[in-house]
Structure 1
Amino acid sequence: MLQRLRCTTAHEPPLAVLRADGALTLRTAAQLRAALLKCLAEQPIAILVDAAGLTVGEDLSLTAFMAAARHAAAWPAVPLLVCAPPRDMRAALRRLGADHHLRLCTDLDHGRAVATRREPPAQVRDEFPAAAASVRAARSLVSGLCERWRLPVVEPARLVTTELVDHAVRHAGTPIELTVTHGRRHLHLAVRDFRQRRSRLLGPEGTAAPGGRRPPLIEAVSASWGCTLLPDGKVTWASLHLTARSRI
Structure 2
Amino acid sequence: MQEQPPYLFDPGDEHFSVTSDPDGAVIDVAIRGTWAAALHPAVSRTLRKCLAAHPAGIVVDLSRVEDPGPVGAPTWLGAVRATAVAVPAARIAVCLPPGSPPSRAGDLPVHPTLAAAHAALTGDCAPGDIVRQSLPPAPSSPGAARDLIGAACQDWNMSALLLPARAVVSELVTNAVEHAGTAIDVAVSRRGTSLHIAVRDRSPELPRILALAPVQAGLPLDERGRGLRVVHADSTAWGALPTTGGKLVWATVRDRAGQPRRW
Tell me the TM-score range normalised by the shorter chain: 0.5 to 0.7
Match of 2:199 in 1: 191
Q: Percent identity?
A: 25
Match of 1:92 in 2: 72
List structure 1 runs of 4+ shifted beyond 6 angstroms.
Answer: 48-51, 83-87, 109-114
CA distance in 1, matches of 2:250, 2:203: 15
Match of 1:235 in 2: 248
Note if contact 1:29-1:64 (Cα within 8 Å) is conserved in structure 2.
Answer: no
Three-state SS of the structure 2 residue aligned to 1:153 is: helix
Match of 2:96 in 1: none
Match of 1:220 in 2: 233
Superposition CA RMSD, Å: 3.9
Q: 1:30 aligns with which of 9, 13, 16?
A: 13
CA distance in 2, matches of 1:183, 1:175: 26
Note if contact 1:72-1:78 (Cα within 8 Å) is conserved in structure 2.
Answer: no
1:105 aligns with 2:85: no
* 1:91-120 per-position Cα deviation (integer Å, ceiling 9, x unaligned): 324169843545561522897898479664
Counterparts in 2 of 1:171 and 1:190: CA distance versus 1, 3 Å: same
Three-state SS of the structure 2 residue aligned to 1:161 is: helix
* TM-score, normalised by the number of residues in structure 2: 0.63
* 1:125-184 per-position Cα deviation (integer Å, ceiling 9, x unaligned): 211110001111111111111111110211111111111111111111111111101101
Match of 1:144 in 2: 151
Size of the aligned set, in residue pairs, is 212
One-letter identity of the residue aligned with 1:203: I
Q: 2:169 aligns with which of 153, 157, 161?
A: 161
Three-state SS of the structure 1 residue aligned to 2:209 is: coil
CA distance in 2, matches of 1:116, 1:195: 26
One-letter identity of the residue aligned with 2:13: A
Note if contact 1:83-1:107 (Cα within 8 Å) is conserved in structure 2.
Answer: no
Counterparts in 2 of 1:246 and 1:210: CA distance versus 1, 3 Å: closer
One-letter identity of the residue aligned with 1:234: K
Note if contact 2:19-2:27 (Cα within 8 Å) is conserved in structure 1.
Answer: no
Note if contact 2:198-2:251 (Cα within 8 Å) is conserved in structure 1.
Answer: yes
Counterparts in 2 of 1:127 and 1:246: CA distance versus 1, 3 Å: farther
One-letter identity of the residue aligned with 1:108: H
Q: 2:212 aligns with which of 191, 195, 208?
A: 208
CA distance in 2, matches of 1:89, 1:130: 51
Note if contact 2:20-2:248 (Cα within 8 Å) is conserved in structure 1.
Answer: no
* TM-score, normalised by the number of residues in structure 1: 0.66
Note if contact 2:206-2:240 (Cα within 8 Å) is conserved in structure 1.
Answer: yes
Match of 2:38 in 1: 60
Q: Output aligned runs, 1:14-25, within 5 Å.
A: none
In structure 2, runs of 5+ residues without a counterpart are: 1-10, 84-91, 93-106
Give the drift of 1:198: 2.5
Counterparts in 2 of 1:112 and 1:141: CA distance versus 1, 3 Å: closer
Note if contact 1:197-1:234 (Cα within 8 Å) is conserved in structure 2.
Answer: yes
